[in-house]
Amino acid sequence: MNVTLSPWSTDDDEALAAAVRDSPDLAVQLGDEALGTPEAARSYIERYLGHDEGTITFAIRVDGTAVGHVALSHIERRHDTAWASYWVSASRRGHGLASRALATVAAYAFETLGLFRLELGHRVNNPASCRVASAAGFSAEGIQRAKLRYGSNRYHVETHARLASDPAPALALVPLLREAVPVR
Ligand SMILES: CC(C)(COP(=O)(O)OP(=O)(O)OC[C@H]1O[C@@H](n2cnc3c(N)ncnc32)[C@H](O)[C@@H]1OP(=O)(O)O)[C@@H](O)C(=O)NCCC(=O)NCCS
């Protein structure tokens, strides 16, 4: 299994549509958009999966095919902080893809972008995401009550963070192909 991270491309439209069809639980993650067709997926990639000063996104690829996503958003240079997020297509879960991708992006954020603190949050009923955060070296910092609303339900969220000065986890990082990524 050859795992890499590289920027999303509109050529990933079929792969994104397939991942969404494969993973009903991604709907909330992707803003409840209907992305099951390549046309809709392409539009989503153009609108949301690019790069700018505040956001860097990567496809998690297995043998070149996009099967997941890891991103840094809300990149803030006053305090050198950012927010991390990730997902993996349902049929590809349980093989360490998210943990390794998150650890790789964290190393990139600290070593190349010069960020100091990365944060993320998961609903407290999402133990897999909690495992990913911990495996990638993000310590739990506390519960924010009813922070997120999906449909008519609100969810408590556990915040995790990793600092540049924290020890790196013992995880094998994956190659990160940086073309098109703005480096400070
Ligand atoms: C969370 C998610 C990204 C994990 O992706 P993944 O590639 O399977 O993650 P990994 O294989 O690196 O690690 C998953 C860990 O969760 C554990 N896990 C999976 N399901 C679990 C469950 N129901 N309860 C407890 N642990 C669980 C696995 O055992 C593994 O832990 P381990 O390494 O200690 O064995 C994936 O499930 C997903 O995309 N979910 C929907 C979107 C989402 O929740 N994104 C995160 C939002 S904060």
6 lines ligand 1 (CB under 6 A): no
Q: Please work out whether the CB of residue 128 comes within 6 Å of at least one atom of ligand 1.
A: yes
Query: What's the CATH superfamily of 3-163?
Result: Gcn5-related N-acetyltransferase (GNAT) (3.40.630.30)
Ligand 1 pocket mutation, candidates 99, 148, 156, criterion most atoms within 8 A of CB: 99
Strand-pair partners of 55: 52
- Domain boundary assignment for the chain: 3-163
Ligand 1 near 99 CB (within 6 A): yes
Question: Measured in angstroms, how far is the CA atom of residue 11 from the centroid of ligand 1?
Answer: 27
87: Cβ below 6 Å to ligand 1? yes
C-alpha span between 29 and 86 (Å, rounded)? 9
Rounded-to-integer distance, Cα 122 and Cα 29, Å: 11
Query: Of 173, 135, 164, which Cα lies nearest the Cα of 3?
Result: 173
DSSP the chain: --EEEE---GGGHHHHHHHHHH-TTHHHHTTT----SHHHHHHHHHHHSS-BTTBEEEEEEETTEEEEEEEEEEEETTTTEEEEEEEE-GGGTTSSHHHHHHHHHHHHHHHTS---EEEEEEETT-HHHHHHHHHTT-EEEEEEEEEEEETTEEEEEEEEEEETTSPPPS-----B--TT----
Q: Provide the residue-wise pLDDT of the chain in tens; the chain has 184 residues.
A: 899 999 999 999 999 999 999 999 998 888 778 888 999 999 999 999 999 989 999 999 999 999 999 999 999 999 999 999 999 999 999 999 999 999 999 999 999 999 999 999 999 999 999 999 999 999 999 999 999 998 889 999 999 999 999 999 999 999 999 865 544 4
